[in-house]
Copies of this chain bind each other. A is one copy, B any other.
Amino acid sequence: MQTPTSIILDWGTSSLRAALVSTSGETLDSRETQSGGIQFVKDGAFENALMQVVGDWFSAHGPLPVFASGMITSRNGWVEVAYVDAPAGASELAAGARRQILENGAPITFLPGMRDPAAKPFPDVMRGEETQIIGCGTDRDRTLVLPGTHSKWARVEGGRITGFQTYATGEIFSLLTKHSFIAKAQEPQPGSEPVWSAFDRGAEFAASDNLAADAFFSAIFSARTGILAGELTPGDIMDYVSGLVIGSEFRQARAAGWLKTGDTVGIVGNNVLNIRYSRIAPLFGLAVEASPSDAAKRGVLMIAGQSAQV
C-alpha cells in the first residue's frame, strides 16, 4: 500500500466527503457522511464532526495535513475564508488559503472560494467549483460548465480563471416541478429511465430559432399547454421541463456570451446532470470535452502544491 500523505475534504452544506490520498494523488480510502454537512453541525463543533469521520486515519497515520474546500469556508462554516477575485489561478488561490492546527497537531488548510467582481449586477461568487476547474487543468484556454443547483459557466485563459457566471438552473427546475401549478411533475418510479423523448422535446424548443424560446416565462407555460393540447402526458412533465430548463440555460448562456456555434465546452462533474448537459450541447452546435471525474481532488492537490511553495 502506498503511504498516505494528506486528507482532502469536500465539505458542503449537506454532506462531508473525505479522501485519504498518497503523494501521487491516489485515493487510498474514502468516507462520505450526510450528517457531517455544515447545516447539521451544531455550535461550531466542526473539529468533532471531522474526527468522527476520519479520526481513525490520524490514529493510523499520524497528523497528516488536511485540505478543505466548499461551504466549510463560508460564513456559516468553520473558518470564513475571503473570496479570491478573478482572474486567479492555483497560486492566487493558494495565497488566499487559511491554515490552522488541529488539537492532534495536524495542519488544516481552508481553501478560498472565488469572486468575479466584473459580474453584473453584483459580483458573482462560488465556493468549491473553482477547485474543480483548477483540477480540470488550466494549461489551455477554454470554457467550462459545471452543472448543478447553481450551475457555473467559467472561462479559463492564460492559466487562470478569468470570469464566471452562476445560473440557478437546478433550483428553478426543482421549484417548478415540486411547487408550481403549471409544471408540477409526477415523481418518477424508482429506477425508471428518463423519458428522453420528452427531454429532447423541451430541449429542442429551447434551442430552436423560435423567438418565443427567448421568453422563458412563456416557454415554461408549455408544460401546461402541452397537456391541454394532448401533446404531453403527465409522465412526460419531469423530463420535458428538465430539457426545457437546461436548454434555456444554454440559450441564456449564449445570449450572455459564454458560447457560440462551433465551440468546444468542457462539462465538469460526475453526476447524472452531465449526461443531460452533454445531450443538449450539440443542439447549440457545441462539441463536448470530457473532464476528469476526480477534478475536485486534483484541484485541491494542485492548489496544495502551490501552497507548499508559498
User: Which residues of A approach B to under 8 Å, CB–CB?
Assistant: 119-125, 149-150, 165-169, 171-172, 175-176, 178-182, 201, 205, 208, 210-222, 225-226, 228-229, 231, 248-249, 252-253, 255-257
Give the number of copies in the complex.
2
Residues of B within 8 Å of A219, CB to CB, are 121
Give the distance to chain B from A216, nearest Cβ to Cβ, in Å.
Answer: 6
Contact check, B217 vs A248: say whether CB atoms are below 8 A apart: yes
Contact check, A217 vs B252: say whether CB atoms are below 8 A apart: yes
Partner of A205 from the list B120, B179, B221 (CB cut-off 8 Å) is: B120
Give the distance to chain B from A116, nearest Cβ to Cβ, in Å.
Answer: 10
Contact check, A166 vs B218: say whether CB atoms are below 8 A apart: yes
Give the distance to chain B from A209, nearest Cβ to Cβ, in Å.
Answer: 10
Partner of A215 from the list B210, B228, B256 (CB cut-off 8 Å) is: B256
Contact check, B181 vs A171: say whether CB atoms are below 8 A apart: yes
Give the distance to chain B from A303, nearest Cβ to Cβ, in Å.
Answer: 22
Residues of B within 8 Å of A201, CB to CB, are 121
Query: Complex: how many Å from CA A119 to CA B176?
Result: 21
Residues of B within 8 Å of A122, CB to CB, are 222, 225-226, 228-229, 231
27 residue pairs from A and B, CB less than 8 Å apart: A120-B208, A121-B201, A121-B210, A121-B212, A121-B219, A121-B226, A122-B222, A122-B225, A123-B228, A124-B225, A150-B182, A165-B215, A166-B225, A168-B218, A168-B221, A171-B180, A171-B181, A172-B217, A172-B220, A175-B175, A175-B176, A179-B179, A211-B257, A215-B252, A215-B253, A217-B252, A218-B252
Given A122-B225, A171-B182, A222-B122: A249 and B217 interface contact (C-beta under 8 Å): yes
